A and B are shown apart, each in its own frame.
Chain A
């Protein structure tokens, strides 16, 4: 047994889970455990008590809302990967799901777990920031919301209060007729942790002019980054590639990339530039074709 000893509780509902969270120090939520268990095995995390929310009813769902879709925190990644609603309404999220860990990880890992653990390389977090998702959590009896861009504050660090439980995430749906998405990442094996990644979603008008663009890069800095200056430079144009490249370069010039054994800061910046260009190109082409390229 590698982890330190802990107590384990399985609350019947969210109220009970929130009460347990408020009742003690060093209490952690567990759902799929695919990030937390390795941290515990290496004793980087040593919670005194684990609260297993995986079986709480009403926390696993995908449903339509007025301006998007809401996904319950304990929805497993393998479910999302095959969900027709996600595919139709948030194609960029559907596109990245096969990259979120391996199939054996996605069969247990949850959407909320990926968001709450805030690994800088996490693809779901990247899409949440890129598309401007909203995270919903419960603290005691009160429900609160936070924008994805405010939620991630550092590697494995979020703005979620220690006694709060993430319950859902809401992704906005773009209503434009011509939408395309693109995603690329560099990793040692497919589905391993990315060293750099980029995601783009583009909406074109009837004449092929870019109405809207969202571009994000992941695994490069401490948190996923949304590059709004690139969107500003390209919206209202036909997305000339030299212009796009210059905008991406400028946007990445003053970020502080991570550096580790696998990828230096300089490598990450260069890789992110190339990946962002590929993601934009794919998204633009898919939108021109009138269909979302999901493969």
Chain B
């Protein structure tokens, strides 16, 4: 079946079997391998992408169901080639990753959270990432990264203070 998607702002058309998940479509057809295949039944969260801005499991959606939607993957969050988004930068700075398997999904989940709630409490952050499993970090630095990113994003929207 023919499917039309907007992937990271670019209109793409692809021919897929109905049983191809959005995850496999992104990885195999568009070579966007930042969305990771973990459990492939909705538990681990490693395949999380943004669908029309909302986080969703790309393993729990067939590509044909996503026809017409705007998909954002980790490849689409940086402002330019070789650069990092503010949230990615915060993850680097606080060492919010070890093996990196859960990281793209964590960052996209954080992206959705901070768009919705610019000043999340620690509990809000923990609740938001509770859908994503990380087997390395113990989550502490991930929570720290998101709190740091939130603080910086709020700062960006403030007028410069007089020295």
C-alpha spacing A75/B17, complex, angstroms: 27
- Report B18-58 residues with CB < 8 Å from chain A CB: 18-21, 24, 40-42, 45, 48, 51, 54-57
Taking the nearest CB of chain B, how far is it from the CB of A45, in angstroms?
A: 12
Cβ-closest chain B residue relative to A42: B41
Q: List 22 A-B contacts (CB under 8 A).
A: A1-B17, A1-B21, A1-B24, A2-B21, A7-B18, A8-B18, A8-B64, A33-B60, A37-B60, A50-B62, A78-B54, A98-B127, A102-B131, A103-B55, A103-B112, A104-B54, A104-B55, A105-B60, A107-B55, A108-B51, A108-B56, A108-B60
C-alpha spacing A157/B112, complex, angstroms: 35
- Report A75-103 residues with CB < 8 Å from chain B CB: 78, 98, 102-103
C-alpha spacing A103/B128, complex, angstroms: 7
Binding site for B on A (CB under 8 A): 1-8, 30, 33-34, 37-38, 40-42, 50, 52, 54, 78, 98, 102-105, 107-108, 189-191
> Across the interface, which residues of A come within 8 angstroms of B130, CB to CB?
102, 189-191
C-alpha spacing A103/B67, complex, angstroms: 22
C-alpha spacing A170/B60, complex, angstroms: 28
Additional A-B contact list (6), CB under 8 Å, known A5-B19, A104-B55, A108-B60? A1-B21, A37-B21, A50-B62, A78-B54, A102-B130, A104-B109
Contact A107 B1, beta carbon cutoff 8 Å: no
Q: Taking the complex as formed, is B153 at the interface, i.e. its CB lies under 8 A from any CB of chain A?
A: no
- Given the interface pairs A33-B61, A54-B65, the reply to whether A107 lies near B56 with Cβ below 8 Å is yes
